[in-house]
Amino acid sequence: MFFEAFPIILKGIGVTIGLTFACYVFALVFGFVWTFLRRIQFKPIHWLVTWTMEFIRSTPPLVQLFFLFYAWPMIPGIGVTLAPIPCAIIGLGIHFSTYIGEVYRSGIEGVEQGQWEASRALNFSTRQKWTKIILPQAIPPTIPMLGNYLIIMFKEVPLASTIGVVGILAMAETYGANNFRYLEAYTIVAIIFLVLSYPSAILINKLETKLNRRFDKKAALQESKGAIIS
């Protein structure tokens, strides 16, 4: 029964992986929105954005999916009915964008003050400052953390089966219900997630180690130059 169930459940892997990357891209883009909104100095807006992010992070993503899919269409005047996949992309994308926005913020705050002053000294426009100086230095150190969130999102995407997205978990539930063989079905789902997640985690750890070595060498070089100049 195990080998009979495997190809049936595997049919949902394309939806699961595709939805993961769609949600992740949405979260990467929307994370910048949170980051730049939080940099607005006007206190009411800053407070509102911060509170909204905390509210989203403190609420289970399953509740947010249910709200968007079942409750949002019932709001008079503004409610819109969403199909399962767009609902999952928006719901999970916005949820994880709040975490990714914090990752971006930590990377931006890690850029040395001298780099900000250099952009002003060169009379760069706002776009040039961010695209040529700040972001190229802020984003690379955050890559390992962003990779970890991709793995976490991959393991959270099965929540979308609760609103009708037919991924591997939904295929397993259907197979189990039709054949009364839930043990094999859910074991296959667990194996699939292990096979895909574990190598990805190892790759991200190696990438993090490589980046840390690169930044350590760069810091050591800068310190040596400073010592020579002094």
pLDDT in tens, 135-169: 888 888 888 889 889 999 999 999 999 999 989 99
The CATH number of residue 177's host domain is 1.10.3720.10
What contacts 52, CB < 8 A, 6 or more positions away?
none
Q: State pTM to two decimals.
A: 0.85
Whether the per-residue pLDDT at 128 is higher than 90: the answer is no
pLDDT at 52: 94
Q: How many domains does the chain have?
A: 1
Question: What is the share, in percent, of the chain residues with pLDDT greater than 70?
Answer: 91
Q: What is the pLDDT of residues 74-102, one digit of tens each?
A: 888 777 888 999 999 999 999 999 999 99
Residue 131 domain boundaries: 2-229
What contacts 139, CB < 8 A, 6 or more positions away?
104, 107
Mean pLDDT of 27-52: 92
Task: Give 208 or 17, the one with higher predicted confidence.
Answer: 17
Q: How many CB atoms lie within 10 A of CB 66?
A: 17
